[in-house]
Amino acid sequence: MIDKLFGSKTRVKLLHLFMSHPGQSFYVREITRLIDEQINSVRRELSNMLEVGVITSDNADNKLYYQVNQRYEFYTALRAIFAGETITAGPTSATSSADGVNDHHITIINEIPALRLAVLSGVLVKGSLSPVDIVLVGNLPATKVKNAIAMIEKIEGRELNYTVLPYDEFYYRLSVRDKFITEILSDKHSVAIDKDNILSGSNSQ
């Protein structure tokens, strides 16, 4: 049944493989062995999946490697289907704002000691194309940051790209219109926490 829904048996096997191993790369002949399908069929489906954006490719050691694109729009839905992993949204009381930001994410981030500013973007904000998902500002304890990010990653069912900046560095880079900061703030984003009102009036773009 699921073969008919998704077009081919090879494609279904590939989706099972990639969705069950996020962060892991495979080369073509390795894939053919793992899913027991003909190489031409595998190459055809890999090309289709690359075009759609479900997977990405990279050259290493004279081989072309493929892995699932965790930033693909429907990644969490496909993983729930093909990896049997239920993606939760945190506590049942959690709600989302108009830009898709999960309130539970903000609660988790807000518990990081000494946090002064948190900007969400990327996969955490609807309509954002930023490669960065979270910017945290303050002199923050590394362990607390890692724990908070891990909790949000578990809720999202994917790895997140995040940056931690000391307050003085962020303020300086903001004042000189640093490219990295400017690109994040010019894209769709959400200012989740701003204890010093640094970005007052810039809650979303």
pLDDT of 137 strictly over 90: yes
Does residue 92 sit within a domain?
Answer: no
Q: What is the pLDDT of residue 201?
A: 53
Cβ-based neighbours of 56, under 8 Å, separated by 6 or more: 50, 66, 67, 68, 69
* Percent of the chain whose predicted confidence (pLDDT) is above 70: 85
d(C-alpha 157, C-alpha 160), whole Å: 9
Domain span at residue 121?
Answer: 103-194
Does residue 167 sit within a domain?
Answer: yes
Does residue 121 sit within a domain?
Answer: yes
Cβ-based neighbours of 14, under 8 Å, separated by 6 or more: 31, 35, 42, 45, 46, 49
Does residue 201 sit within a domain?
Answer: no
Does residue 188 sit within a domain?
Answer: yes
d(C-alpha 66, C-alpha 84), whole Å: 21
Q: What is the pLDDT of residue 113?
A: 95
pLDDT digits (tens, 9 = 90+) for 158-193: 899 999 999 999 999 999 999 999 999 999 999 999
Confidence of residue 157 (pLDDT cuts 50, 70, 90): confident
Same domain assignment for residues 109 and 186: yes
Cβ-based neighbours of 78, under 8 Å, separated by 6 or more: 15, 19, 54, 72
Identify which of 66-75, 82-91, 95-104, 134-143 has the greatest average pLDDT.
134-143
Transcribe 41-89 into DSSP letters.
Answer: HHHHHHHHHHHHTSEEEEEETTEEEEEE-TTSTTHHHHHHHHS--PPP-
pLDDT of 6 strictly over 70: no
Q: What is the pLDDT of residue 91?
A: 46
d(C-alpha 40, C-alpha 43), whole Å: 5
Q: What angle do CA 143, 71, 59 make, to 5 degrees?
A: 95
Q: What is the residue type of 15?
A: L
Does residue 148 sit within a domain?
Answer: yes
pLDDT of 23 strictly over 90: no
Count structural domains, the chain: 2
* Percent of the chain whose predicted confidence (pLDDT) is above 90: 65
Same domain assignment for residues 12 and 75: yes
Does residue 87 sit within a domain?
Answer: no
d(C-alpha 47, C-alpha 63), whole Å: 15
Question: Could you say which of 27, 51, 82 is where a domain stops?
Answer: 82
Mean pLDDT confidence for 5-25: 87
- Whether the model clears a pTM of 0.75, i.e. scores above it, the answer is no
